[in-house]
Amino acid sequence: MKRFLSLISLAGTLTAFTLPVHHETLPNGLELFVVPDTNVAVVSCRLYYKMGSYYEGPGTTGLSHMYEHMMFKGTKRLGTADYAKEIPYMNRIDSIDREIVALKSSGSDEENDAIQTKRKEIFALLDSQRTYIKKDEIWSLYEKNGATDLNAWTSDDITAYIVTLPANKVELFFNIEADRMQNLVLREFYSERDVVTEERRMRYDNRPEGRYWERLSSLFYAASPYRNPTIGWMSDIRNYTVAKMKDHIEKYYRPDNAMLVLTGNISVASAQKLAQNYFAPIPKPATPLESVVTREPDPIGEVRFTHVSDGEPRLDMLFHTPGYPDSALLALDVVENLFNGTSGRLFKKLVEEKQLCTAAGAGNSWSKEDGTFHIWAKLKADTDPSEVERIILEEIKKAATEEPTADELLRIKNSLRYNFYEGLESLEGVSDQIAFFSKLGNWKQMLTYPEDIAAVTSTTPAVKTYLDPEYRTVGILINESKESK
């Protein structure tokens, strides 16, 4: 983590601050953010796509996560010793997969002998193609040039490709990422699909907590695509095809849905020149970006879900909140911190006073649409979940009828602002905050967030409106083996 506090100018309080953010939009729609700082020797280079599982649906869930995997497989010039010689293998593999799709459409399942035979053909061809594949060449190029923090991640509405480089190596980032944006090759697609399959089994199917949370989330959202698991449903993963992925890429992984964020030892002029040389030539597609029109309907009652397994017992309570930029989100951030942390009301009541839980807290998630307020508690083995729920409801009722005390409000506001500034101590933290507010629709609110929090004077209206127990979704994970001891 590279320290970055030298750029933040505080105006004598924990409210106002300035940050030298340069922002522009290229003619092809790509956004460029530059935050220069000559006090460091490196540059955090991040390419974000405003894309994730929120933009997926039946048959396509998890494709954005799969794309993240494919981005490291290379391009027409990276990851290959001879791309022209790879093409016949990939064409034949895709042809065989179309035959598999046809068999599945006619009613055959994946264990069908004919399908298994064709899968063996695909992997035999893939073994031959690997003669020309340079494995992990992109990763190696970055590391040979002093890269740190090289990674990628996918969430529900943003995907990031990230690396921190020495200041004199930044052009490598532009070279590689512009190439990946327009010339990605889906080599080893079917073997990587198997990798994602195993990742899903490990993180969700074989983990009680993973199965529990995935199902609870899909019950909380009746319509909104926020209900989609980022990794995708297993049935969708097993039916990915190159054609589906290419269609997904053409729709969303394009310059007018992307932003470059550079923080560190780089001038605005240098960043502009590199962006012009590498990204500006990538054409903006003629078709407009597809937007998500589905909105979560107002809840009509309580939803409950109980999962019995060998997982750690817990209780979760979820509430629907408004999308950005509703001002209630700021008040709910204060409420989150009223409940959350070791000094919060839930920890004091459930862990310290009643000794029913090992941990408890809350979280307020901002989204462009259909947000979430989440209250949670990890239960001791002999704890009755209904007693924990009763106490949580009491605390919600108190927060709906009584404003926080002056001491609580001061502590919470100071804590929120301190944590916000702490998140800006690194180059990477600054980049992620710019991207977070940009995906919501207004990156400049990053600069006013501390002031906005300082201006919150009342929280009870937000609690009454959005933390209404009549419309709660409750999840309970019960471990019968622990209860029986």
Query: Residue ranges of the domains in the chain?
Result: 19-80+133-278, 303-483
pLDDT at res. 18: 84
pLDDT at res. 16: 61
> Does residue 408 have a pLDDT over 80?
yes
Mean pLDDT of 165-184: 98
Question: Which residue, among 171, 48, 191, 214, has the nearest Cα to 119 in the 3D structure?
Answer: 191
Q: Which residues lie closer than 8 Å to 215 by C-beta, 6 or more apart?
A: 305, 307
Is-same-fold flag (19-80+133-278; 303-483)? yes
Question: Which residue, among 212, 216, 214, has the nearest Cα to 478 in the 3D structure?
Answer: 212
**DSSP 8-state secondary structure symbol assigned to residue 285:** P
For the chain, the average pLDDT equals 95
| Distance linking the first and last C-alpha atoms of the chain | 45
Neighbours of 401 (CB within 10 A): 10
Percent of the chain with pLDDT over 70: 96
Task: Note the helical H segments in 76-233.
Answer: 83-105, 113-129, 137-144, 170-183, 189-200, 208-220
pLDDT in tens, 310-345: 999 999 999 999 999 999 999 999 999 999 999 999
Mean pLDDT of 383-389: 98
Q: Which residues lie closer than 8 Å to 1 by C-beta, 6 or more apart?
A: 425, 426, 427, 428, 429
pLDDT at res. 17: 75
Name the region of 200 (left: φ>0; alpha: ψ -120 to 50; beta: rest): alpha
Name the region of 12 (left: φ>0; alpha: ψ -120 to 50; beta: rest): left
pLDDT-derived band at 2 (thresholds 50, 70, 90) equals low
Residue bearing the bigger pLDDT, 374 or 1 = 374
Residue the block writes with tokens 């300035």 = 18
For 9-117, where are the E strands, in sequence order? 9-10, 17-18, 22-25, 31-36, 42-49
Residue 327 identity (one-letter amino acid): S
pLDDT in tens, 442-462: 999 999 999 999 999 999 999
> Does residue 11 have a pLDDT over 60?
no
Contact 73, 79 (CB under 8 A): yes
| Distance of alpha carbon 368 from alpha carbon 110, whole angstroms | 38
pLDDT-derived band at 481 (thresholds 50, 70, 90) equals confident
pLDDT in tens, 200-230: 999 999 999 999 999 999 999 999 999 999 9
**DSSP 8-state secondary structure symbol assigned to residue 41:** S
> Does residue 13 have a pLDDT over 90?
no
Contact 62, 230 (CB under 8 A): yes
Architecture of domain 303-483: 2-Layer Sandwich (3.30)
Contact 147, 164 (CB under 8 A): yes
pLDDT in tens, 46-87: 999 999 999 999 999 999 999 999 999 999 999 999 999 999
Low-confidence winner among 121-130, 142-151, 173-182, 473-482 (lowest mean pLDDT): 473-482
CATH of domain 19-80+133-278: 3.30.830.10
Given CA atoms 449, 454, 455, 456 in this order, what sign does their dihedral have? positive
Question: Which residue, among 264, 253, 273, has the nearest Cα to 6 in the 3D structure?
Answer: 264
- C-alpha neighbours within 13 Å on the C-beta side of residue 347: 12
Which secondary structure element, helix H or strand E, spans residue 276, and what is its range? helix 268-278
Question: Which residue, among 338, 371, 285, has the nearest Cα to 460 in the 3D structure?
Answer: 338
| Distance of alpha carbon 391 from alpha carbon 345, whole angstroms | 11
